[in-house]
Amino acid sequence: MTTEAQESVVRDGVHYHQFDIVIVGAGGAGMRAAIEAGPGARTAVISKLYPTRSHTGAAQGGMAAALANVEEDSWEWHTFDTVKGGDYLVDQDAAEILAKEAIDAVIDLENMGLPFNRTPEGKIDQRRFGGHTAEHGKTPVRRACYAADRTGHMILQTLFQNCVKLGINFFNEFYVLDLITVKDADGKTQIAGVVAYDLSTGELHVFQSKAVIFATGGFGKIFKTTSNAHTLTGDGVGIVWRKGLPLEDLEFFQFHPTGLAGLGILLTEGARGEGAILRNASGERFMERYAPTIKDLAPRDIVARCMVQEVAEGRGAGPHKDYVLLDCTHLGAEVLETKLPDITEFARTYLGVDPVVEPVPVMPTAHYAMGGIPTNNNAEVLADNTTVVPGLYAAGECACVSVHGANRLGTNSLLDINVFGKRAGRQAVEYVKTADFVPLPENPAGFVSGMLEGLRNNQGTERIAVLRKTLQDEMDKGAQVFRTHDSLEHVLGVIKDLRDRYRNVHVDDKGHRFNTDLLEAVELGFLLDIAEVVVYAAQNRQESRGGHMRDDFPKRDDENYMKHTMAYLTGDPHSSTPSDHIKLDWKPVVFTKNEQGELNYPPLERKY
């Protein structure tokens, strides 16, 4: 492994590098792509964090695969659960790829050295998880492969160790701020590389490449109550958006049911997979009323709405009746300390609650973006519904295949990063074998340099932290689990005001080394861009589906909205209303058929 091993040239204070493939992001998707790409092409991984600090490490519960090590299972059942769990907005060909390739993805990780929990026979152990069933919804099934409640952490460490083994070039604490594109003679977008800001020196680096893979994660920090790390500000999604490329299904954001009340820190669904129970203030197992078949293991969007409804109807616990309780006490100390050690420690540390002897206060927390950069099944980024941008790829949470539809099943995220991260790396290698480097435009770092110096030297009075807090507070109030036209309209007005105030921000730190004040100013710009698309698309979708619940349109509307939202930036984001600079269009959902020509996974009522 190297960080500056490749030769670089310095011109006018800017460092220039050349690689066949540049991967932006060193989480699970980025490093899985690097493992696939590294042996076949000169590959660089650029990350604003040290790789093992990436947010994949926060994933706890497991990775789905129909191994059938503990109970009978099949990839067809897994596909059905993915489609049904996604409220039928899932592209079904992508879901079949995910479920079929899941088994090899788990075996790949095992062969790389990942220490999965084991059955007494020595096989990879599996646990139950929400929405995963046998025989197309009849009973819960044990499908989640896990390493205690640190599965994402183990995956991240394993992938990093294998990248080191392969000698992958890492540029750590480099913040990519621009995608270098040029237009060919026909006006089509060509990829020339990326521009990154070295946090340790403040210098700019241009990475010329034949292919770029975005694996930059999600954007949960548009919300106040979130399980996402402080760094998940949607940088990759925002960069692509500013380049005029579309974003898909951004209105669908998943709110994980069990965040620590008031904090949002995640308690894995694996706790309910091991038998933990959600209870209201009176001790009732209320999910029996809403999902009598699989109860607490219903899909996350359903459980989150039920929890909010319990509180809204006065059955919440605590002095303010504003949360419900996750009861693990019957599981016993041994199960909690061996299979769920991290969440046990989280509850003790952050709330002073011991899950061994008392229930834990929980409420939904913003967790996962189902939408993002649109791609096909080979992780190639799309310029519209069908046109591929040659040499540009995306994988993981920043991408929208769409394999999660309107609601991602638990454990399918760690699966997604491995299946489609691998596909992105493999496809990029094939592309660069015959592609040429696109000549860099004159002064390729000019835009980034101007943006950074403009923020650094701005004489404004607005505080970055105040603007960010206002955005997050208002998103929690108006665009979280339940939404209405009026609540979303109010948030759009707030975002418009924050955009105006953002022009007047003040950066206290004028330095160049590890200037986190400047970094957060840049991140705020991305958050405002993405939040606006999320809210505008949510207002446009006049139905309830998956993670998108409209109180004023409470039913799913397959006749009018069985289609993906495609958003395009068409003008100046500082114009008066979103309709002046955002164009919304639609993209059909992909359905697959069986040998008789019938739909394999027809839309059904989501009863559990």
Report the chain's C-alpha Rg in angstroms.
Answer: 23
Q: Is residue 549 part of a domain?
A: yes
- Check whether residue 207 and residue 123 sit in a common domain: yes
Q: What confidence category does residue 44 fall into, taking pLDDT thresholds of 50, 70 and 90?
A: very high
Rounded to an integer, what distance in angstroms lies between the CA atom of residue 521 and that of residue 287?
42
pLDDT at residue 5 greater than cutoff 70? no
Burial class of residue 555 (count of CB atoms within 10 Å of its CB; 0-12, 13-18, 19+) = exposed
Q: What is the mean pLDDT of residues 233-249?
A: 97
Q: Is residue 3 part of a domain?
A: no
Q: Return the closest-CA partner of residue 110 out of 120, 98, 102.
A: 102
Q: What confidence category does residue 574 fall into, taking pLDDT thresholds of 50, 70 and 90?
A: confident
pLDDT at residue 25 greater than cutoff 60? yes
What Cα–Cα distance (Å) separates residue 283 from each residue in 174, 267, 326?
Answer: 50, 20, 10
pLDDT at residue 555 greater than cutoff 50? yes
48 is in an annotated binding site: yes
Q: What confidence category does residue 1 fall into, taking pLDDT thresholds of 50, 70 and 90?
A: very low
25 is in an annotated binding site: yes
Per the prediction, the chain carries an average pLDDT of: 95
Rounded to an integer, what distance in angstroms lies between the CA atom of residue 215 and that of residue 192?
18
Q: What is the mean pLDDT of residues 220-229?
A: 95
Kind and range of the H or E run holding 522: helix 516-540
pLDDT at residue 575 greater than cutoff 90? no
pLDDT for the residue 4: 42
Q: Is residue 16 part of a domain?
A: no
pLDDT at residue 467 greater than cutoff 50? yes
Q: Is residue 604 part of a domain?
A: no
Q: What is the mean pLDDT of residues 273-298?
A: 94
Q: What is the mean pLDDT of residues 324-331?
A: 96
Taken in order 14, 18, 21, 26, the sign of the CA dihedral is: negative
Residue 150 bears catalytic tag: no
53 is in an annotated binding site: yes
- Check whether residue 233 and residue 95 sit in a common domain: yes
271 is in an annotated binding site: no
Q: Return the minimum-mean-pLDDT range out of 303-307, 344-348, 485-489, 573-577.
A: 573-577
Give the number of residues written for the chain.
608
Q: Is residue 2 part of a domain?
A: no
Contact 212, 179 (CB under 8 A): yes
pLDDT at residue 56 greater than cutoff 90? yes
- Check whether residue 475 and residue 546 sit in a common domain: yes
Cis bond before residue 402 (omega within 30° of 0): yes
Kind and range of the H or E run holding 305: helix 300-312
Q: How many domains does the chain have?
A: 3
Reported pTM:
0.95
What Cα–Cα distance (Å) separates residue 426 from each residue in 18, 102, 234, 304, 430?
Answer: 20, 16, 25, 37, 7
- Check whether residue 269 and residue 400 sit in a common domain: no
29 is in an annotated binding site: yes
Contact 16, 10 (CB under 8 A): yes
Percentage above 70 pLDDT, the chain: 99
List the catalytic residue out of 300, 305, 550, 556: 300
Question: Domain span at residue 543?
Answer: 445-584
Residue bearing the bigger pLDDT, 215 or 183: 215
- Check whether residue 348 and residue 372 sit in a common domain: no
pLDDT at residue 530 greater than cutoff 60? yes
Which region, left, alpha or beta, applies to residue 403 given φ > 0 means left and ψ of -120 to 50 means alpha? alpha
Q: What are phi and psi of 356, to 5 degrees?
A: -65, -35
Q: What confidence category does residue 576 fall into, taking pLDDT thresholds of 50, 70 and 90?
A: confident
- Check whether residue 75 and residue 185 sit in a common domain: yes
Contact 600, 592 (CB under 8 A): yes
85 is in an annotated binding site: no
Q: Is residue 594 part of a domain?
A: no
Q: What confidence category does residue 3 fall into, taking pLDDT thresholds of 50, 70 and 90?
A: very low
pLDDT at residue 93 greater than cutoff 90? yes
Q: What are phi and psi of 183, to 5 degrees?
A: -100, 135
Tokens 């309830």 belong to 544
- Check whether residue 265 and residue 387 sit in a common domain: no
- Check whether residue 235 and residue 381 sit in a common domain: yes
316 is in an annotated binding site: no
Q: Is residue 39 part of a domain?
A: yes
pLDDT, tens digit (0-9, with 9 covering 90-100), for 404-432: 999 999 999 999 999 999 999 999 999 99
Q: What is the mean pLDDT of residues 503-531?
A: 95
pLDDT at residue 2 greater than cutoff 50? no
- Check whether residue 486 and residue 519 sit in a common domain: yes
pLDDT at residue 543 greater than cutoff 80? yes
Identify the CATH number of the domain in which residue 341 sits.
3.90.700.10
Domain-terminating residue out of 363, 391, 420? 363
Kind and range of the H or E run holding 578: helix 578-581
Q: What confidence category does residue 187 fall into, taking pLDDT thresholds of 50, 70 and 90?
A: confident
Q: What are phi and psi of 430, to 5 degrees?
A: -65, -40
Bridge partners (DSSP) of residue 368 are: 254
Q: What confidence category does residue 184 fall into, taking pLDDT thresholds of 50, 70 and 90?
A: confident
55 is in an annotated binding site: yes
In the chain, how many H helices and how many E strands? Answer: 17, 23
pLDDT for the residue 6: 56
- Check whether residue 267 and residue 243 sit in a common domain: no
548 is in an annotated binding site: no
Domain-terminating residue out of 387, 411, 433? 433
Q: Return the minimum-mean-pLDDT range out of 157-166, 252-261, 334-343, 513-522.
A: 334-343
pLDDT for the residue 7: 67
Q: Is residue 425 part of a domain?
A: yes
Identify the CATH number of the domain in which residue 469 sits.
1.20.58.100
366 is in an annotated binding site: no
- Check whether residue 460 and residue 556 sit in a common domain: yes
Domain-terminating residue out of 344, 363, 382? 363
- Check whether residue 354 and residue 378 sit in a common domain: no
Identify the CATH number of the domain in which residue 392 sits.
3.50.50.60
